[in-house]
């Protein structure tokens, strides 16, 4: 190899090393920087567990309704609780909808698309005075129902948990939620029959978690639904991917 050839190779190697040295801090910054960004607050997600809904239903106490006297929404906390820098309503909207657009506060959902579990229809949601109620947050076990089936004997802090537990919350079609009102499985089931097994399983999961009882009529209605899906599992709450 000639002296000129050796010099050319040496210059090429040095140039390559200098370029790498200059680029490395930038590459390293690109890798590390996202880890230092604040994570958006999210609710835990739910997935199917291992417990069969029918078996857990059989373990629930069966009693009559307690009097509704003394019930008010404030017994379960005043409005939607805050988690971090966001309120539970907007966190549920973010969890259950897709194609969402947030306000500058990174909390308020301005628009999104909901695949409504109760009706099976697709709802295009836009926040506004006449449109915000198109999508509502349902307490799967209604708070008035919980009150009459054990919650009135619990502490205020436990009742607040019931009202804010993501296991007990779903974004759903507003008018359908209004029709449900405080109904239990004996008086109301989702018109979307394909969702009824999962709906009843979620109610059973909430009632089991908080030691709430069921009436005989409610138990029989749940049992009837689960006959078509005997292997239906209870949903469980898992940590969401951030």
Predicted confidence (pLDDT) at residue 21 exceeds the cutoff of 80: no
Portion of the chain with pLDDT greater than 90, in percent:
76
The total number of residues shown for the chain amounts to 242
pLDDT number for residue 237? 80
* pLDDT tier, 47 (very low <50, low <70, confident <90, very high otherwise): confident
* pLDDT tier, 41 (very low <50, low <70, confident <90, very high otherwise): low
Tell me the β-bridge partners of 48. 235
Average pLDDT over residues 56-78: 97
- Give the global pTM: 0.80
Predicted confidence (pLDDT) at residue 216 exceeds the cutoff of 90: yes
pLDDT number for residue 49? 80
Kindly report, residue by residue over 80-119, the tens digit of the pLDDT: 999 999 999 999 999 999 999 999 999 999 999 999 999 9
CA angle 189/172/96 to nearest 5° reads 125
Across the chain, mean pLDDT equals 86
CB 29 within 8 A of CB 225: no
Average pLDDT over residues 137-150: 98
Residues with Cβ within 8 Å of residue 230, at least 6 apart in sequence: 52, 54
Q: Name the residue ranges covered by the structural domains of the chain.
A: 3-35, 43-238
Closest CA to 37 of 106, 108, 112: 106
CA distance 183 to 4: 90
CA distance 221 to 197: 11
DSSP letter at 151? G
Taking residue 51's Cβ as centre, other Cβ atoms within 10 Å add up to: 17
Question: Would you say the C-alpha torsion 224, 229, 234, 239 has a positive or negative sign?
Answer: negative
């Amino acid at each position: 190899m000639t002296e000129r050839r050796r010099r050319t190779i040496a210059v090429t190697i040095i140039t390559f090393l200098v370029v790498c040295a200059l680029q490395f801090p930038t590459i390293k910054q690109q890798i590390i920087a996202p880890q230092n960004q604040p994570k958006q607050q999210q609710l835990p997600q739910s997935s199917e567990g291992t417990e069969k809904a029918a078996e857990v239903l059989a373990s629930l106490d069966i009693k009559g309704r307690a009097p509704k006297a003394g019930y008010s929404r404030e017994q379960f906390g005043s409005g939607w609780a805050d988690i971090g820098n966001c309120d539970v309503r907007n966190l549920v909207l973010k969890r259950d909808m897709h194609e969402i657009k947030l306000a500058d506060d990174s909390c308020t959902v301005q628009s999104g698309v909901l695949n409504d579990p109760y009706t099976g229809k697709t709802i295009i949601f836009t926040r506004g005075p006449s449109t915000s109620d198109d999508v509502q947050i349902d307490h799967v076990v209604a708070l008035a129902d919980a009150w009459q089936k054990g919650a009135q004997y619990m502490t205020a802090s436990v009742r607040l948990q019931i009202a804010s537990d993501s296991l007990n919350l779903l974004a759903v079609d507003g008018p359908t939620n209004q029709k449900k009102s405080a109904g239990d499985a004996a008086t109301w089931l989702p018109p979307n029959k394909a969702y009824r097994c999962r709906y009843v399983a979620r109610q059973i999961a909430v009632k089991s978690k908080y030691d709430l009882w069921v009436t005989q009529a409610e138990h029989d209605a749940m049992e009837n639904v689960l006959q078509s899906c005997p292997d239906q599992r209870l949903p469980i709450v898992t940590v969401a991917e951030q």
